[in-house]
Amino acid sequence: MQEADLLPDVVICTAALTACARGEEPGKALLLLSDMPKLVLIPTAVTYGAAVQACARGSLWRSALEILNASRETDSKMVNSFAVTAAIAACGKAGHWRVALCLLQDLFESRCTSISFAYNAAISACANTGDWAPALSLLMSMSGTLLLPDVVSYSGAMSACEKSGTWQAAVALYDCMMSNVVRMDVVSYASLISACEKGGQWRFALCFLQHALASDIAPNIVLFNAATSACEKTGAWQQALLVLGALPQHAILPDTITLNAILSAMEKSRQWRKAYDLCFETEISADVISYNALLSASAGACRWRHALSTLHEMLVIKMTPDRITYSAAISACAKGRQWQSSLQLLQQLRDAGWRPEEIAYNAAMSSCEDTSQWRESLELLAEMTRDGLVPNILNLSIAIAACGKARAKLRLLAFYS
């Protein structure tokens, strides 16, 4: 074979760019595109589109726009809807939905017939930043261009509503889909249930979960976790357990997210015993968030011994406590009037490399105030200042109360003099 036969042509370069896009290798795609003029090869619309798509998947939105402009300079009459759609997706992924809308407008004004994918990409761009109003506006404008929104269009708009917590709009979109006989898929159901979760509407969330399970879609753990999270928001732990119980019927295994949502629901409802039973009897792997929920449940029930035992269990199994862990344990000890344990935990928090936050100081000072430990209360005020925190009215009130109980008001005045 002659050496000339080994030189790539436009088709080979385009195929290579497509491979770069699928493999999310934007750097290689840009290098290959820049080498084409050296090989005396003129990129086609498909070539430019593949290069833009590679940049889109690699989050290089500026490079995507540069390639798009280069394609227009090559042929000002050429309207590359594939490249424009990929550029819209790139801008949307980077959070620049306004740029995406400008690209869509240019494509629309060019009277391109293949524009439905571009609309969906623009809606998804708005969804990435939770800008639900422009997403809904785009969805409504599709009918004005004789385009019928599909499940991807509605799912993108629902996702925008979900990210912004606009659950009413998400439910309205569901009604529109039912009216227009657009079949929901697992993505649209997940966005809808998650929107209800963020709005604290656990009844709606469970209702839509039932609709999803009654349909012919294949449910996944994301649907169930969105429903359990909705129950968690309002402490509906019994309903969360029902969702957990439904998982085996669909051959789906619960994960740590499922467990944490249920534990948090139990913590909010002061069901500390049930939280402990669930955590230690289940085969679901627990993480630091799981243990933090147990500690918060113990604090809410004034079970300081359980809190210390839980913290000890974390250390035994080599799980690293975080700031929330120690703060919850301090709160539990404070409610149990265990001021010495509260101060020890506060020191452990520092030793672990965390700077105590105001909530930890408040709990520790409350334990000192309850037991008239005025010296420790004043020392905690000084430590707050050293940690860069400004004592507020609550902190000062606690210190005053501690000094008052110990008849040490004069010492408090001397501390601030």
Q: What is the mean pLDDT of residues 111-131?
A: 84
Confidence band of 3 (pLDDT split at 50, 70, 90): very low
Residue 392, helix vs strand vs coil: coil
In this prediction the pTM is: 0.78
Q: What digits encode the pLDDT tens for the residues 239-290?
A: 999 999 999 999 999 999 999 999 999 999 999 999 999 999 999 999 999 9
Residue 120, helix vs strand vs coil: helix
The SS3 call for residue 371 is coil
Structure-token pair, residue 78: 């050429």
Tell me: pLDDT of 385 over 60: yes
**Hey, where are the domains in the chain?**
1-129, 324-417
Mean pLDDT, the chain, integer: 86
Q: pLDDT category, 4, cuts 50, 70, 90?
A: very low
- The token duo for 249 is 């019927």
Q: Give me the pLDDT at residue 235, please.
A: 92
What span, in angstroms and rounded, lies between the C-alpha atoms of 224 and 193? 9
Q: In this predicted structure, what is the pLDDT of residue 238?
A: 96
Tens of pLDDT, residues 202-249: 999 999 999 999 998 999 999 999 999 999 998 999 999 999 999 999
Q: Name, of 23-37, 177-191, 335-349, 356-370, the range with top average pLDDT.
A: 177-191
pLDDT for the residue numbered 1: 33
How much of the chain, in percent, has pLDDT values that exceed 90? 44
pLDDT(411) > 70? no
pLDDT in tens, 133-143: 999 999 998 87
Question: In the numeric block, which tokens belong to residue 143?
Answer: 């009918």
Q: Does residue 403 carry a pLDDT above 70?
A: yes
Residues in the chain: 417
For range 368-388, the mean pLDDT: 80
Whether pLDDT at 47 is above 60: yes
pLDDT for the residue 276: 94
Q: At what angle do helices 237-246 and 221-233 cross, to 10 degrees?
A: 170
Task: DSSP letter for 115, please.
Answer: -
What pLDDT shows up at residue 412? 53
Nearest to 189 by CA among 149, 240, 223, 215: 223
